[in-house]
Structure 1
């Protein structure tokens, strides 16, 4: 019974990732930036491979590293890709041990703030609070899902 809410959350994260990527790709295409759009499509394909590596920690960690690297390149290249970090933040507690996930979320949040500030031409309160607040909410949601998953394994 616990697996239904977990599946719904997972699907919500995937739909969010697809929506954010689609928005970013369309935005850069409108600006005539075909290379960034192609990069966004490739990142989407790589992200879509995530479920195939689920349950295989070494492969899942490699997948997470590749998706993160792709996101970093695109976030530096074009502002719309910065916001694709939110579903990625959710993946960290799902794939990594808790200590590594929290470290990764902190680094990703810092990179998001830096990329946003760079694209905006400077640091501002919204640039600081937006990604920081979102990281807290996404992390709490991911940790709640982790706890529900653990509890569902214990209960018959």
Structure 2
């Protein structure tokens, strides 16, 4: 029963990223910024490759995360709306990297998003400091809660198993 909310949460970040990216690409296209729109489409394609590398080696996942982050950084400098794609990307950091590296990545990405937004705005205002920090905190707490729920679900799955030659529905505790 617990796996349904976890599956929904697992898809929430990629769907949010794709929706934000689509809005930004359409906006850039409508504004005549073809290069930015094409860059957004390319970023979307690289981002969409994420599930394909999920079971791969750490190097492949790190390379994918580096490409996505680099693409985001270029677009965040090119057009203000792309700055906010950083927040769904935080879930990727927390999913792909070990916890210590993810925390470092979250701090760096949040700082970069804050600086890019301030650069586009022409000033560093309080909302640009507080908003991204609060968003990063919420994303981090949600991702950690998902990890804890997933670990608990796996623990329970391994704790109860069918006895040898047993019938389905007669789980025994090891």
TM range (shorter): over 0.9
For the pair 1:23 / 2:26, whether they are aligned, the reply is: no
Larger relative contact order, structure 1 or 2 (CA cutoff 8 Å, min sep 6): 1
CA root-mean-square deviation = 1.0
Q: Under a length normalisation based on structure 2, what TM-score does the superposition of the two structures give? A: 0.87
Q: Which has the larger radius of gyration?
A: 2
Moved more, 138-147 or 51-60: 51-60
SS in 2 for 1:155: helix
1:105 match: 106
2:138 match: 137
Moved more, 29-38 or 144-153: 144-153
1:77 match: 78
Deviations 1:105-156 (A, max 9, x none): 0000000000000000010011111111110101110111111121222111
Deviations 1:35-81 (A, max 9, x none): 00000001011111100011223211111111011101100110010
Distance 1:2 1:60 in 2: 27
| Structure 1 stretches lacking a partner, 5+ long | none
Q: Under a length normalisation based on structure 1, what TM-score does the superposition of the two structures give? A: 0.96
2:126 match: 125
2:149 match: 148
Distance 2:46 2:95 in 1: 17
Distance 2:26 2:124 in 1: 26
